[in-house]
Each structure stands twice: as C-alpha cells, then as structure tokens.
C-alpha cells in the first residue's frame, strides 16, 4: 500500500516526531511494509471469531472505593523541572494552538 | 421560543459527561475531593510515573450498572477499556483511558416530557466510562502554564444520545431528565457550575423532509441549562444563515461564550481529532457477573418517572404537580413528609410549590436548607384543616415561621391568630356592623343584594381576618332577614 508524503507528515505530526526530508523514502518503504502486513492480517476470515481485547483469558480484578494514597506532592515534585505554588510548570499552552 | 425558518429542521445529539461521586479515582486510590490544594490528590498513577498500573474502582461499575438500568439500556459484559491518544500537558500519560468498542452501557432510551405536556422518546446510543484530565492554568507563571493534576483520573461516565433531539427546548428537557436521574441514583452531584456535569452539543440543520444529515458542529463548554438552550439556538440560527447565504458548514469544534452569547471555532485542523484508539493493554476485559448486577440493582431507588406515577395514583395529584415534585428527589421526600404529617396531599403540594418555593427561590436555597421543616409545614396545614386558622391567616403564620423558626402553635397562640369560631362572638360582630351601617342596610333591604358582600367584608375586617367566613355568611343571612 503506497503512502503519500502528506500522509507521512500527518503521522509524524500525530506522533510529535520531527522527520527530515532525506529520511522520507526509507521511512515510507518501512511503513508500507508494515501496512502490507496489516492488509494481509485483514484478509483473514474472522467472522466466526469473537473480538479479543486482551491475549490473556482472565478478567479484570477490582479494588474497593477507598482512598489509599495520601498527599505525596513534595516527594513527587522533587524531580519536576519547574514548580510554582504546587503547580507543575510547562511551556505555555494556548487552546487550539495545535 | 424556537424561531427559525419553518423549512429548516435541527438535528441535535448531546454528549453529557457526568463526574461520578466516588471517594477515590477510577484507577488509583487518590482522593477525588473538590477544592484541595494543587497536586495534593495526584498520586504516581495519576502522574503516569513509569511502571505504574491502573486498578479499577469497583464502585464505578455499580454506578454504571444503575445508570444503565435507569436508561433502559443493555449492560455489556465483558466490557473493555481503550486508549484515546492525544497530547496535552494536563494528560501526563499522553492518552486517556476510555471505552470504545464495548462500552459498559449501550442501546437505551429516555422518555422526556415537553412543556406542552407531550412526551418524546430519545434514544441513548451508549454510556462509557473514562478518566478525567487535569487542569491547565494559563495565568502568567513567568510565561509558562501551570498544571494541577488533582482532577486527573477522576471517574466520568459519558452519556451519548442519538441525534433525535430537534429543538433547544427538547435538548434542555433531555438534559434535565438526565440530571434528575443521576441525582436520584446518587452517582453524581450533577453540579454544572462546578463541572460535575458537562454538556457538548452536536448540531446540524437540514431542509424539512430531507433524509440526509447536514454537516455537524460540536459546541463545547456549556455549563448551565440556560446556556445549553441559548448555545444550541445560536448555533442553529448561525448554520441556517450560513447555508442560506450560499456558504457551507465546516465540521469543527466550537466554544460557547456565554458573555456575548455566540459560538466560535476552537479546533479546525482536520487531523486534530485522530485519537488512534486501541484496546488498553494494561487492563483486562471486565466481566460483570449476573449476581453482581442483580445485587447492584437491588439498591436502585424509585426513579423519577415511577415516583411521578405513584404520586398521581396514591395522592391524586395532577400529572403536572406530580412531575414537578418528583423531578428532585429531596423535594419529593419533603413532600411525602409534609403529607405524612398533614394527611392532605393536595394542600401539601400547593403549599410546597407556592409559598415555600417562592421563599426558597427568593433566598436561593435548596429544599434541604429550607427554614421550615416538613413537619412544621405539615402542622401548619393541619391548623388550616381543623379550622384553627384560615388559609389567609396561614400565609401570615408561614411568614412568621420562616423568619423566626418558631413552631406553628406558638405563633398562633402568641399572636392571637386563631380563627374565631365562637358563634356568639361572631354574632355580636355582625350586629355591630349592621348597626354601624344603616344606609347600606336600607339599600340591601330594598333589593340591592350585592351589598351582602359589603357586610361580609366589614365583619371580616372587624375580626381582623380571623372570623370563619362560612359562619359569617350564615349568621349574616339570618340577621339581615330580621
């Protein structure tokens, strides 16, 4: 399955990865191989098979609704690059900018 | 209210996010209390520290099962979680754990009541569990944004309706009905101003009779019933006028601005909404055993529609009165307590929806904070029923109870407000009034029957409103014959 430059750019954007123009041909080649494999998988007859969301034949355990984690802010913020008034500081984000 | 060109029809679907009232988070043991200091309720799971695993809160499953039942829906078992991927600083994992293919609640419906008394069935596509994100604060922190992750991981259930709503009024009726249900089930406080219930509206328009759906927009950030109505109304009118002037509608997310009552575009990039869902590998499918569902459903309270019907049958209330009282569980409980004390359902309903509601509205109080208890109101109604006071005087007693908090009988006693039922006392007042008004008496006796009302009024005035009107009528008739 052929991939266009535009599609490759979109995938890079979604993954927040910067790729340079020189690596386009090789990346495209590799991704096309992966997509081909998925097409092959898609061609398998699965009408009779129930969809599976996990490979283990187990079900999810649950926990009672109890507060077990006390405030650990000080410890957890020790490794944060920038903190002010208990908030984590990050580069300015404006809604809709992406 | 809905005024748009009759050749157009609006098609509306609502997505309602309800914050579930658990003690701890969906996948961690951190507290969900509102208003704590920033990041004091965000543990290493909420912060997405490497190596942590989510563990599901059982209470959330119970809440979802109850909601599913109330929405006449199927409960899926197994139900499974999925990752919804997007980048934003208040989402430390880079994905939100949500549900995609197997939502816990699917295929339900809700009958809503419209103002003209008719009812309409709105399909519920699904309701799925997901975790909330943190909060970004954009005030200036040395040119940076501040992140508070206390809300991160708080359980939400998102209720998605079919696009079967056709006007802003229907949208509000649907929203109020959902609000009433989640309050009844006690799965959320439903506080829209604090964000415990948030509503996104998908709106499109089409020519009446057209089968095809128009391009829709999604309006976010609507945080009151009134704003939902206004935002949808605005969006319908905007789309119609765009199309009529030859433009097309862009599929986009819009933000409602209540200050100026408009919506404006928020995200337009066509691939901004590619969330690349895939099954959450950190969580196994959730199996809900029949016994678990049965046990959970045993705890279901009587729901608003059932309560309304019971009020009509048991207390002989009108459909309208019954639905107003049943809409709020606390109000319904108050009503039943008043009726239990007074034994007169009709009077109880009238007093609650009349005088009491007026006072509560005036002081912006919820029924739970009423200054007059249900028992006190019941006693007041008893004093009307047993003729101790008239309905008119009862309003004065009510006012005094509201402001002083004193008991009914103490107020009546202290203020001398008892109705005068002593025949001789009324007789002497009647005689006095007749003696003092010889001219009117002459005219009455010469055939001016209408003056009878004048005499009744004078006697009531003489008694300061405390005479029993029925007795006054009777005695006056007798005396005037003499």
3-state secondary structure B42-94: CCCCCCCCCCCCCCEEHHHHHHHHHHHHHCCCEECCCECCEEEECCCCCCCCC
Q: pLDDT by residue (tens digit) across B166-222?
A: 999 999 999 999 999 999 999 999 999 888 999 999 999 999 988 888 999 999 878
Q: Tokens for B79, please give them.
A: 């139900």
Q: Tokens for B385, please give them.
A: 């029923």
Residue B460 has pLDDT above 70, yes or no: yes
Residue B269 has pLDDT above 70, yes or no: no
B462, B429 Cβ separation under 8 angstroms: yes
CA distance B98 to chain A (A): 13
Q: Which helix (H) or strand (E) holds B347?
A: helix B345-351
Q: What pTM, to 2 d.p., does this model score?
A: 0.81
Q: Does residue A13 sit within a domain?
A: yes
| Cβ within 8 Å of residue B93, ≥6 positions away | B48
Is B100 within 8 Å of chain A by CB?
no
In 3D space, the residue among B383, B186, B419 whose CA is nearest the CA of residue B303 turns out to be B186
Q: Tokens for B362, please give them.
A: 């005036």
B264 and B350 share one domain: no
B139 and B216 share one domain: yes
Chain A CB contacts of B286 under 8 Å are 59-60, 62
Q: Does residue A72 sit within a domain?
A: no
Q: pLDDT by residue (tens digit) across B279-319?
A: 999 999 999 999 999 999 999 999 998 999 999 999 999 98
Residue B427 sits in a domain whose CATH number is 1.10.10.410
Of A69, A90, A98, the CB nearest to B43: A69
B431 and B343 share one domain: no
Residue A11: closest CA among chain B residues belongs to which residue? Answer: B271
Q: Does residue B153 sit within a domain?
A: yes
DSSP E strand stretches across A1-98: 62-63, 83-84, 87-91
Residue B477: pLDDT band (50, 70, 90) is: confident
Residue B54: closest CA among chain A residues belongs to which residue? Answer: A62
Give mean pLDDT, residues A32-43. 93
Q: What is the DSSP string of B409-433?
A: HHHHHHHT---B--HHHHHHHHHHH
Interface confidence (ipTM) of the complex: 0.84
Query: Terminal CA-to-CA distance of chain A, rounded, Å?
Result: 29
DSSP E strand stretches across B243-351: 253-257, 262-267, 278-279
Q: pLDDT by residue (tens digit) across B169-180?
A: 999 999 999 999
Q: Does residue B3 sit within a domain?
A: no
Chain A CB contacts of B187 under 8 Å are none
B154 and B282 share one domain: yes
Of A54, A71, A76, the CB nearest to B44: A76
- Domain residues for the domain of B349 are 304-415
Q: Does residue A32 sit within a domain?
A: yes
- Domain residues for the domain of A34 are 5-42
List B residues 278-307 in contact with A (Cβ-Cβ < 8 A).
279-281, 283-287
Domain endpoint, select from B415, B443, B466: B415
Strand partners, B141: B144
- Supply the pLDDT for residue B90: 92
The domain tally of chain B equals: 3
Q: CB A86 to CB B22 under 8 A?
A: no
Give mean pLDDT, residues B237-263. 90
The domain tally of chain A equals: 1
Q: Does residue A80 sit within a domain?
A: no
Q: Does residue A10 sit within a domain?
A: yes
């Amino acid at each position: 399955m052929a991939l266009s430059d535009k599609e490759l750019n979109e995938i890079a954007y979604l993954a927040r990865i910067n790729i340079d123009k020189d690596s386009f041909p090789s990346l495209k080649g590799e991704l096309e191989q992966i997509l081909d494999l998925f097409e092959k998988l898609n061609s398998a007859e699965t009408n009779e098979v129930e969809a599976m969301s996990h490979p283990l034949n187990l079900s999810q355990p649950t926990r009672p609704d109890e507060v077990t984690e006390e405030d650990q802010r000080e410890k957890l913020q020790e490794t944060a690059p920038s903190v002010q008034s208990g908030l984590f500081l990050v580069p300015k984000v404006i809604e809709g900018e992406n | 209210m809905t005024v748009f060109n009759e050749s157009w029809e609006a098609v509306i679907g609502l997505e309602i996010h309800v914050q579930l009232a658990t003690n701890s988070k969906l996948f961690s043991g951190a507290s969900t209390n509102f208003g704590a200091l920033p990041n004091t309720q965000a543990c290493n799971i909420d912060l997405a520290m490497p190596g942590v695993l989510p563990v599901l809160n059982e209470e959330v499953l119970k809440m979802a099962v109850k909601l599913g039942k109330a929405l006449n829906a199927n409960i899926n078992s197994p139900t499974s979680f999925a990752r919804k991927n997007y980048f934003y600083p208040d989402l430390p994992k880079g994905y939100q754990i949500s549900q995609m293919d197997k939502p816990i609640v699917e295929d339900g419906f809700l009958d809503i009541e419209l103002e003209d008394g008719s009812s309409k069935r709105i399909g519920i596509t699904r309701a799925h569990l997901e975790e909330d994100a943190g909060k970004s604060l954009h005030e200036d922190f040395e040119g940076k944004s501040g992140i508070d992750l206390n809300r991160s991981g708080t359980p939400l259930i998102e209720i998605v309706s079919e696009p079967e709503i056709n006007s802003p009024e229907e949208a509000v009726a649907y929203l109020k009905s959902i609000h009433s249900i989640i309050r009844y089930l006690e799965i959320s406080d439903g506080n829209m101003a604090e964000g415990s219930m948030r509503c996104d509206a998908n709106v499109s328009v089409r020519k009446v009779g057209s089968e095809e759906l128009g391009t829709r927009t999604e309006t976010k950030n609507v945080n009151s019933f009134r704003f939902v109505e206004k935002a949808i109304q605005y969006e319908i009118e905007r789309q119609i006028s765009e199309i009529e002037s030859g433009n097309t509608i862009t599929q986009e997310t819009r933000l409602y601005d209540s200050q100026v009552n408009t919506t404006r575009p928020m995200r337009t990039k066509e691939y901004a909404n590619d969330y690349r869902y895939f099954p959450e590998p950190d969580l196994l499918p959730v199996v809900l055993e029949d016994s678990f569902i049965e046990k959970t459903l045993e705890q279901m309270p009587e729901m608003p529609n059932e309560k309304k019907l019971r009020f009509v049958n048991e207390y002989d209330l009108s459909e309208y009165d019954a639905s107003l009282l049943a809409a709020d569980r606390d109000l319904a409980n108050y009503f039943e307590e008043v009726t239990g004390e007074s034994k007169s359902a009709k009077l109880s309903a009238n007093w609650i929806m009349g005088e009491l509601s007026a006072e509560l509205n005036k002081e912006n109080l919820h029924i739970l904070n009423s200054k007059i208890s249900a028992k006190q109101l019941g006693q007041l109604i008893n004093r009307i029923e047993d003729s101790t006071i008239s309905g008119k005087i009862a309003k004065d007693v009510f006012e005094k109870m509201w402001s002083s908090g004193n008991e009914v009988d103490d107020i009546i006693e202290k203020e001398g407000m008892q109705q005068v039922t002593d025949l001789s006392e009324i007789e002497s007042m009647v005689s006095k009034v007749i003696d003092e008004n010889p001219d009117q008496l002459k005219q009455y006796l010469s055939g001016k029957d209408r003056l009878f009302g004048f005499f009744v009024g004078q006697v009531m005035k003489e008694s300061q409103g405390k005479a029993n009107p029925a007795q006054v009528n009777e005695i006056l008739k007798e005396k005037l014959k003499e």
